[in-house]
A and B are shown apart, each in its own frame.
Chain A
Amino acid sequence: MKLHYYPGCTLKEKATALDISTREAMKRLDIELVEPEGWTCCGAEYPLTEEKIVGLAAPIRVLRQVREEGGDVVVTTCSFCYAVLKRANKAIQEDPLKHKRINAYLRDDIKINERTKERTTGFDDYNGEVKVLHLLEYLRDRVGFPNVQSRLKRDLKGLPIAPYYGCRLLRPQEELGLDEPDNPHLFEEFLEAVGCRAVDYPFKQECCGSYVSVSLPAAATEASYRVLRSARMNGAKAITVTCPLCFYNMDHRQDAIKETFLDFPGLPVLFFTQLLAWALGVDKKLLGLGEHSVPADHLFSESPTTEVRS
């Protein structure tokens, strides 16, 4: 089965682990991921003021391309891409002015006929036909967690893992509708489905510091520290994320965190797809564990905690 997949820029450069593990895991579920032809950056930030609506052009172009290729669903794993694509899609569906203006921007895009190589313009208006789903949502609603469970090859034996939602998966709820912002369950259900034990801790929806880590690293250091500390205090052996930026703030910058907060001994950071791929029997070499600053190898040892089933 083919499924449109929008990886986003970071997955092709700094977070290839997320990309590779996603692909490998989906193969095991007999799903072939197809990237929309000529996709571009989604813009990373959904434009929050009325005058910046040109920022909707990039995500809408991507979604329109999915539609042109006959797709009715596109999945993402990066939380930033997810939020931008989903919110842009909703804006086009619900705001006639945005619909009109964005389609006017995009009408003159060049269309190339596959067969004749003829170049023309004139796309039909994009009306929000494509459904944007996060991979977690896709697994829950389309594949079904019981189906995932039935295909597991390795037993994670209730490895205690802290799910980390961060900001962009949950908020604004009115537009994303993935889960309740202060009482979410989706990630926990996923972790239980792949054989882990979801650790409950109060910082799962707190911000990691996001892009402020570039302009004011100290603030992000503290924000990330609070999340990691809370996860660890509640017994997590690792924290899982969906977003490459959360990964960067918590994994790549964990040395800085340890330097600032001497009481913190460290905590591995994983992409959720690494756990999924591993549980589905993907080879350890294909999990991209080399990208981690905080070693996470020990969580993926064949024995004695895990074993490959027939």
Chain B
Amino acid sequence: MRVKLKAGPEERKFIQRIEELSGENVYACYQCGRCSAGCPMAPEMDLLPNQIIRLVQMGMQEEVLRSKTLFLCASCFTCQSRCPKGIDLARVMEAVRHILDPKGKDAFGPDEISPELARELPQQVMVSIFRKFAK
């Protein structure tokens, strides 16, 4: 399938919104892929971290927003610490999740935690996962 590249107002608005929310310049990325190379969650992802930022650069909002990757990022900042351009990809991921509405099937809801599991889980992990992945 041939994808039509657009750089209309909608695409520009999307990119601008991501940049405002994350505080990162997505155009600084030159696609070396180091983020993906070191990402602990990459094996589970449908789009690699560098592909997410690439699609943001290209304004391909839909592809980005429906990616499972957004709900796999563990904010471990490994990508941030090794990015040669100093981009904090965890911020970009969070910005994309922020504008995602509704949050979709990959988001995480309280009903997905059984009472037994809830008794076992450390408090911090529940706060974390709802802050990051809540529906």
Contacts and interface: CB of A to CB of B under 8 A. Distances in A.
Say what secondary structure dominates the interface of chain B: helix
Contacts of B108: 214-215
A8 interface: yes
25 contacts: A10-B124, A14-B122, A14-B123, A15-B122, A44-B124, A48-B90, A49-B95, A52-B94, A52-B98, A80-B124, A167-B74, A167-B76, A167-B77, A171-B76, A207-B40, A210-B125, A210-B128, A214-B108, A214-B117, A215-B71, A216-B72, A219-B41, A219-B44, A219-B72, A223-B41
A55 B76 CA distance: 19
Contacts of A55: 131
A245 B72 contact: no
Interface residues of B, number: 41
Contact of A212 (B74, B80, B91, B94): B74
B21 interface: yes
B116 interface: no
A41 interface: yes
A17 to B, nearest CB: 12
Interface of A: 8-10, 13-15, 41, 43-45, 48-52, 55, 78, 80-81, 166-167, 170-173, 181-182, 205-207, 209-216, 218-219, 222-223, 244-245, 247-248, 252
Pick the 10 closest A-B CB pairs, nearest first.
Answer: A171-B77, A207-B76, A167-B76, A44-B127, A48-B94, A211-B128, A9-B123, A210-B74, A181-B81, A207-B40
Interface of B: 20-23, 40-41, 43-44, 71-72, 74-78, 80-82, 88, 90-91, 94-95, 98, 108, 112-113, 117, 120-129, 131-133
Contacts of A205: 78
A176 to B, nearest CB: 10
Nearest to A176: B77
Nearest to A207: B76
Contact of B122 (A10, A181, A216): A10
B122 A45 contact: no
Given A171-B81, A215-B108, A209 B123 contact: no
